[in-house]
Each structure stands twice: as C-alpha cells, then as structure tokens.
A and B are shown apart, each in its own frame.
Chain A
Amino acid sequence: AQTVTQSQPEMSVQEAETVTLSCTYDTSESNYYLFWYKQPPSRQMILVIRQEAYKQQNATENRFSVNFQKAAKSFSLKISDSQLGDTAMYFCAFMRGTGANSKLTFGKGITLSVRP
C-alpha cells in the first residue's frame, strides 16, 4: 500500500516571498505519478502540478515548481512570488502508474496562509 505524509500542518508566508511545502511518500511501485492539489475555502480541488516518476526533470508550472527526489521518496512544492490567492490547503497525492486511471492517495494536507 502507498502512503503519503505531509508533516507540516500549516505554514505562513509573506506576499511575494517563496515558500516550500514538504511531502514524502512510500511505495514499492516503480512507475507512478505525483501531484499537488490546491483546495481553497470553496472546496474545489484544483491540480497545481504533476510529476511522472520516470522523468528526472522536475516539473514547473509558472510560479510553481517541484523538487522530486525519487531515491529519497520526497516531492516538495515551491511557490515563488506568493500571492494572496495562493491561500488554501495543499495536498500531495500519489497515483500508481498502471497506464489506466487509478485512485489518488492523498496526504493530510497543509494549510498555507499568504500574508499581505
């Protein structure tokens, strides 16, 4: 079974600064996907960024980037130039890479507050 651990329950960052959210996971699979989802107070889960485990290059989406360390089973999210709209819960998630759609295993999430 897969497990995803987010050990920081909450973080706070000043607007325009950079913040890093941590995530570790445990799996015996060799092929898998990792995701960061954002859940604002409206509850709508929104995909922030996705990483395929077979790719060595870290994924980047505008202000969001990941540090994927496969051997250490670590998958952190860096948010640059933080904006007030980044305030939300962030969930790290794991999906087995079976080639077909599979379930997501989520961490407990971290509450990020961006201060003006």
Chain B
Amino acid sequence: EAGVVQSPRYKIIEKKQPVAFWCNPISGHNTLYWYRQNLGQGPELLIRYENEEAVDDSQLPKDRFSAERLKGVDSTLKIQPAELGDSAVYLCASSSQREPSYNEQFFGPGTRLTVL
C-alpha cells in the first residue's frame, strides 16, 4: 500500500512570491490534515478535511493561506504571498476510522519551505 505522497520535497522562494504544496493521501482515507512544523518544534494543525469539507481550519492564517480538496482525495495548500516566517516543514497526514488503524494518522515526508 502506498503511503501519503507529498510534492515537492523542497521549495525555496523569495518573500512575497506564491507557493503551493500538493498531497495525495492513502487510498480510502477520508480524513486529511495539513500541519506546519517549525524548526525544533512539534507539528501544529493548519486544517483538517473530512472528505471535501474543511471541518477545522481555525489555525489557518486565512489572509495568506488557502487550501482545497475538491474531489475529497488529493489536496493543495497555497501561500500567497509568502513571508519570511512561513519557512517551515509542511506535513500532510491522512487517517481512516476503520480498524485496525482507527485514529492513527499516517504522515507524508513533508515539504521543506525556505523563504528568502
């Protein structure tokens, strides 16, 4: 079974430029999460989807961040315009309510964003 796929793995941009990250969750997983992980910290949730509906986006900075999961499968996270403080690793995760992996979140390798 393929894991969570993310691209790109690395991205370097200048401030004020736009950037987008893509995530393909594990097949059949209806819940998808985007986390941001700052250097030396644990991940923090940005947004959670149940199928195509964003059910928790309270931590998403909506002035510059947007996300979509149009068909309830893969998802895109966008930042426009990027700021220096956005430099971080952006992790995507997915989960299913079916046993035996109930409540377990499976993570992708992340995208390391550097804003210059």
Contact = CB atoms under 8 A, between A and B. Distances in A.
Contacts of B109: 42-44
Q: How large is the interface on A (under 10, 10 to 19, 20 to 34, 35 or more residues)?
A: 20 to 34
A11 to B, nearest CB: 15
A68 interface: no
Contacts of A102: 48
Interface in A66-99: 91, 93, 95
A103 B56 contact: yes
A108 B41 contact: yes
Chain A interface mostly? loop
A91 B42 contact: yes
Task: Indicate the member of B41, B93, B105, B109 with the most A CB atoms within 10 Å.
Answer: B105
Chain B interface mostly? strand
B41 A101 contact: no
B45 interface: yes
Contacts of A42: 109
A16 interface: no
B43 interface: yes
B21 interface: no
Given A100-B97, A103-B33, A108 B43 contact: no
B84 to A, nearest CB: 21
Smallest CB-CB A-B distances: 8 pairs: A106-B42, A45-B107, A103-B45, A101-B31, A43-B110, A101-B95, A91-B42, A44-B109
Interface of B: 31, 33, 40-45, 48, 50, 56, 89, 91, 93, 95, 97, 103-110, 112
Given A44-B109, A102-B48, A106-B43, 4 more contacts: A45-B93, A101-B95, A101-B105, A103-B45
7 contacts: A43-B109, A43-B110, A101-B50, A101-B97, A104-B105, A108-B40, A109-B42
